[in-house]
Structure 1
Amino acid sequence: MRWTLTVLGTTDLHGNVFNWDYYRDAEYDDGAHDDVGLAKVASVVGAVRAEREGLATLVLDAGDTIEGTLLTTFYARREPITSTGEIHPMARAMNVIGYDAVTLGNHEFNYGLPLLDLWISQLDCPALAANAISEATGEPAYAPYLLKEVRLAENAPAFTVGILGLTNPGTAVWDRGTVAGKLRFEDMVATAAKWVPEMRKAGADLVLVSAHGGDSGTSTLGPGVPNENPTALIAQRVPGIDAILFGHAHAEVVERFHVNEHTGERVLTAEPSKFGQRVSRMDFTLRHTGGRWVVEDKCATMINTNTVEEDPTVLDELKEQHARTVAHTTRVVATSTVEMSAAESRLRPTPILGFVHRVQTDTVRAALADNELPVLSVASPFSRTARFPAGEVCVREIAGLYVYDNALEAVELTGAQVRAYLEYSARYYRTHAPGAPVDPATISVRGRPDFNYDTIDGIDYDIDISRPAGERITRLEHGGAAVAPDARFVVAVNNYRRSGGGAFPGMGGTPLYSAGREIRELLIDWARARGTIDPADFSAANWRLVRDGVPLFA
């Protein structure tokens, strides 16, 4: 006789509950007509459970849950649950849905361990991370796996599912200030190889891995740090795994099989995009024979959440938290003298990115008043759609300019290190031979994100995109004079970059300044204190894109 098991999976929810864009204060729309949020996921889950008439249906998440929208930022920073005792919105929504297990992603650690621990305690299901090891005990700091007995059907033999959670080792780099000395993050492949046999020995009839790591096999973390995207390697190298739900890459992988090199078994993998836009559905056909369970077939499909309405129970459970967030994000903080846009911030200096530089520079200069070195500022063009209107500027518009929950820090760099930093950043651009047309839409290397292109304020420089990567900074001046290799500067930079995120050179050392203040909040406070945002206060055309010495976007 045969039975079936269905597993539903989400990943990279990034704080999305409502189908709402808090930066625009409007319904979410990405142009492809995708929808987002756990309220949509809840309707998908409810429909599948109804279809299966109470038969075994598990719901899992592969991580990056509590960071990413202004809703979750509000309950982490503005009214933190660690101070108010409020139930975290992602715990509320996931509990309504009835998740069976969640895996910790790297962004779970962004707000510190106390908030993470409180969120975990508020969940009605375990949070898994077998490779996050306590430095104090040498044991997993969180539950490594879950063994769950499920009801396949009336009178079906007992059946146990083992769910192993693996988090991303990049947390040791990206949130070094939070986890250093407290947690270490071990290799995901080696961790799976350790725990899968133990799960089988403990009675798991089916082993699922919920992994917060992509399947490309590539990594941005550099030498000495375990692979960031090892899902395919786990499937190929670790015997005893039936399927892997994975995340981190924000990709849509409907169904992908990998052959295990030890057993020849096909391991099913799936990645359900991001933000709750998709739900992976894995279906297993099972047969009990000779006293053991056999997986006869397995497959995966993808459900688009724009095919359902938002679940009213989730909406009602979180309506007050949503309303408080909207009230905060629509609050006016200043008046802008002109409209400003970030659309061209990767092509030329723009006043709106100059605003970020000015606030960072002012903050670091005030904090290090006794340090007489010149202060430079690093900032990225995170969003091409960010804009300030001429007139009233709200919290949401400033937050839309700085979309990450980064804190401001400062380091000391030499002139040689500043040049190396800029050369590394300038790899963002494709090489353009003299005479060929330059299209702003395709000027960057394919696949290289805008957030890995940094500009530096406080010095003057040219980036010559006719030259090979590593030889593009053809002019580098401070105060009208060429920057000497042994010159010294204080550089304001976000904690992600300073901790090694993106592997930019010169980072990773002990900061001169690190007060834990979020850049987004500094921008809001600076604007509120002055009341007026005027480009005359911070606009400076200090860098140029050139080709063979000729400016491209004057």
Structure 2
Amino acid sequence: MPSDSIRRPARAATVLAAACAASLILMPSATAAPGNGNGGKPGHAGKDQTANVTVMGTSDLHGYIENWDYYKDAEYDDAAGNDVGLAKISALVNQVRADRGRSNTLLIDAGDTIQGTSLTDYFANVQPITETGETHPMAAAMNAMDYDAAALGNHEFNYGTELLDRFEEQVDFPLLAANAVDWNTGEAAFSPYIIQTVKPKGNKPIKVGILGLTNPGIAIWDKGNVEGKLRFPDLVETAAKYVPQMKAAGADVVVVSAHSGTSGTSSYGDELPLENAATQVAEEVPGIDAILVGHAHQEIPERFVTNKATGEQVLLTEPLNWGMRLSVMDFELAKVRGKWQVESASASLLNANTVEPDPVVSALVKDAHQRVIDYVNTPVGTATETMPAAESRYRDTAVIDFVNEVQTDAVERALAGTENADLPVLSVAAPFSRTAVIPEGPVTIRDIAGLYVFPNTLYAVEMTGAQIRDYLEYSAKYFVQTAPGTPVDPETLTNADGTPDYNYDMFSGISYDIDISQPVGERITNLAFDGAALDDAQRFAVATNNYRQSGGGNFPHIADAPVLLNQQTEIRELLIDYVVANQVIDPALFAEENWRLVRTGEPVFG
């Protein structure tokens, strides 16, 4: 099979050439646009020399088309009253186009499109588009909405480059990723940018450049899918390379679609370029008018960042996630010495819960949507009792023990007969979902998929007792320090310093206490294996997932630990296979309270 390192650069060049032919114009210009920003520049232009352009943006759609929660088998609902999905976003887009004028608007996306729901899993694993040739529902919906471009997110690579290739073939717009480059040549593997011509009524055409940036964390999070094929350089240096090219090609407005948050932090330390670098791009790269932000799942209606070199204000906006919001960026331009110049920029968010879904989009995906509903509601076994996940983040629960049991069993079987067969197998799992429930009685695929919401695959690595202790201390930073005698509220006890639920790991196969009265780094007590204090030198096989093994969450030791198993099977598929094979989930066979929260030795919860 030819590798991406051979095929993709040629393809990216073809896409750019085709874009030129299709009025996604990449024309050289003798003079770059002289400025940008939101500061007014009175006196430069008369009223007849002004124009307005609107760029709409989505991000982190994660496979949501209809306002539906496949795990609950009901319409999506949350405490804030949000609605989700492209069908509703399409209705908002139609409103903006009607208000601003269709010829004055563009529609772009900032990535994480084809992973995240049972629908996307179905068309990647159950009936994969790579085998059926069927158009991916996300491609069908986005084509119908007439997107102009979409940046790639890190989750685009979760199912491998073959599926991404097929999705790229199916969409009618370019997928952009200027900082995804060929492993060997360093050439762009996808189109870096496009320049689209907008034709405001009564004015000369305006050229809007869209630069796509993806996340460097892909090199860690999907190492198995991209190593040897793609590299992911720094966002700032990549933008600094391409923005001048876009200006030279005639871009009057430069918008960056960046699958990168604004915080200036990384979940993987400093071994790769900055993960959340949108602010740095705005500050350090001259010539950018606005950035559509993604990746962080935040709601940023409008934020301005000052560029350090020019003093100009750069507009940032992020439309939350899952199609809950639509970012609307409005640019006012004026003719200055014969060139269009951005005089002001503003942004707002439109809420998906204010409209009914677009019937055109709903009709396109109706069959696919129903097939997925039918699939996830297929019973595959039974459970002897109800196992909820609601308390899993602060209490040892049977439902997390179930995940660890399946992972342990899979690793033990895989290592049997090898030189590592004698290593004791431990397992780690995180409380991915607060709402998942394995119900008493019939258990469906939906029940199991709702428990493990990410397409992580199974790994096993070798770690020592000392490394496991360090790992547990790091994981325990998830809890807020709480003095003895102070009332404990489970809702405020967790997520210290913004640590997400998926970055809190619980071990099976050993026993330990977490003393939340102590500072971070001094919390693990009574750490034992097989009834005795854990030997720092003892070697273990630790079952984990590809995200954690590749450095996701920046946990100590695990990314550098020797790999004993890379099964490349999704863990939720292992869970489903376990139920199919055993027909019964019985907590009496695997549930064990092996860890607890304490304060100076006293249990926090009964």
Cα separation, 2, equivalents of 1:273 and 1:329: 27
Which is further off, 262-271 or 44-53?
44-53
For 1:290, which of 323, 327, 337 is the aligned residue?
A: 337
Task: Say if 2:467 is the partner of 1:417.
Answer: yes
Shift of 1:54: 2.8
- 3-state secondary structure, aligned to 1:430: coil
**2:555 maps to amino acid:** F
Cα separation, 1, equivalents of 2:311 and 2:270: 31
Counterpart in 2 of 1:548?
A: 600
- 3-state secondary structure, aligned to 2:363: helix
Instruction: Point out where structure 2 has 5 or more consecutive residues left out of the alignment.
Output: 1-47
**TM-score, structure 1 normalization:** 0.98
Which of structure 1's runs of 4+ aligned residues deviate more than 3 A?
none
Shift of 1:551: 1.6
Cα separation, 1, equivalents of 2:103 and 2:197: 13
Counterpart in 1 of 2:583?
A: 531
Cα separation, 2, equivalents of 1:343 and 1:46: 39
Cα separation, 2, equivalents of 1:172 and 1:53: 41
Shift of 1:387: 0.8
Which is further off, 127-136 or 340-349?
340-349
Cα separation, 2, equivalents of 1:408 and 1:329: 22
Counterpart in 1 of 2:432?
A: 382
Shift of 1:101: 0.3
Task: Say if 2:92 is the partner of 1:36.
Answer: no
- 3-state secondary structure, aligned to 2:563: coil
**Equivalent residues of 2:252, 2:342 under 8 A apart:** no
Cα separation, 1, equivalents of 2:598 and 2:87: 48
**Equivalent residues of 1:11, 1:272 under 8 A apart:** yes
Counterpart in 2 of 1:347?
A: 394
Counterpart in 2 of 1:25?
A: 73
**2:477 maps to amino acid:** R
What does the per-residue CA deviation read over 1:296-346, in whole Å, with 9 as the maximum and x for residues that have no partner?
A: 221111100111111111111111111111111000011111111111112
**2:249 maps to amino acid:** A
**Equivalent residues of 1:12, 1:62 under 8 A apart:** yes
**1:85 maps to amino acid:** G
Cα separation, 2, equivalents of 1:134 and 1:441: 45
Task: Say if 2:188 is the partner of 1:144.
Answer: no
Cα separation, 2, equivalents of 1:121 and 1:195: 24
Cα separation, 2, equivalents of 1:193 and 1:324: 46
Shift of 1:137: 2.1
Counterpart in 2 of 1:219?
A: 266
The CA RMSD over aligned residues, in Å, is 1.1
Q: How many residues align?
A: 553
Task: Say if 2:119 is the partner of 1:68.
Answer: no
- 3-state secondary structure, aligned to 2:201: coil
Counterpart in 2 of 1:134?
A: 182
Alignment of 1:371-410 (within 5 A): 371-410=421-460
- 3-state secondary structure, aligned to 1:275: coil
Counterpart in 2 of 1:256?
A: 303
**Equivalent residues of 1:462, 1:473 under 8 A apart:** yes
Cα separation, 2, equivalents of 1:426 and 1:217: 24
Shift of 1:158: 2.8
Work out the percentage of aligned pairs sharing the same amino acid.
Answer: 57
- 3-state secondary structure, aligned to 1:508: helix
Instruction: Point out where structure 1 has 5 or more consecutive residues left out of the alignment.
Output: none
Cα separation, 2, equivalents of 1:532 and 1:503: 36
**1:22 maps to amino acid:** Y
**Equivalent residues of 1:212, 1:246 under 8 A apart:** yes
Task: Say if 2:478 is the partner of 1:434.
Answer: no
Cα separation, 2, equivalents of 1:190 and 1:52: 35
- 3-state secondary structure, aligned to 1:512: strand
Alignment of 1:188-207 (within 5 A): 188-207=235-254
Cα separation, 1, equivalents of 2:577 and 2:261: 37
Cα separation, 2, equivalents of 1:170 and 1:414: 27
Shift of 1:446: 4.5
Counterpart in 1 of 2:169?
A: 121
For 1:89, which of 137, 144, 150 is the aligned residue?
A: 137
For 1:522, which of 562, 574, 578 is the aligned residue?
A: 574
Shift of 1:289: 3.1
Cα separation, 1, equivalents of 2:237 and 2:522: 40
**1:389 maps to amino acid:** P
**Equivalent residues of 1:221, 1:227 under 8 A apart:** no
What does the per-residue CA deviation read over 1:159-217, in whole Å, with 9 as the maximum and x for residues that have no partner?
A: 21111000011111111111112111111011111110011011111111000111111
Counterpart in 1 of 2:101?
A: 53
For 1:324, which of 371, 374, 380 is the aligned residue?
A: 371
**Equivalent residues of 2:89, 2:326 under 8 A apart:** yes
**1:480 maps to amino acid:** G
Counterpart in 2 of 1:468?
A: 519
- 3-state secondary structure, aligned to 1:14: coil
Cα separation, 1, equivalents of 2:554 and 2:277: 19
- 3-state secondary structure, aligned to 1:514: strand
Cα separation, 2, equivalents of 1:88 and 1:512: 35
**2:470 maps to amino acid:** A
**2:356 maps to amino acid:** E
Shift of 1:260: 1.1
What does the per-residue CA deviation read over 1:231-266, in whole Å, with 9 as the maximum and x for residues that have no partner?
A: 111111110011111111111110111111111111
Which is further off, 335-344 or 92-101?
335-344
Shift of 1:443: 1.1
For 1:168, which of 202, 215, 218 is the aligned residue?
A: 215
- 3-state secondary structure, aligned to 1:527: helix
- 3-state secondary structure, aligned to 1:235: helix
Task: Say if 2:225 is the partner of 1:178.
Answer: yes
Cα separation, 2, equivalents of 1:354 and 1:254: 41
Task: Say if 2:531 is the partner of 1:480.
Answer: yes
- 3-state secondary structure, aligned to 2:572: helix
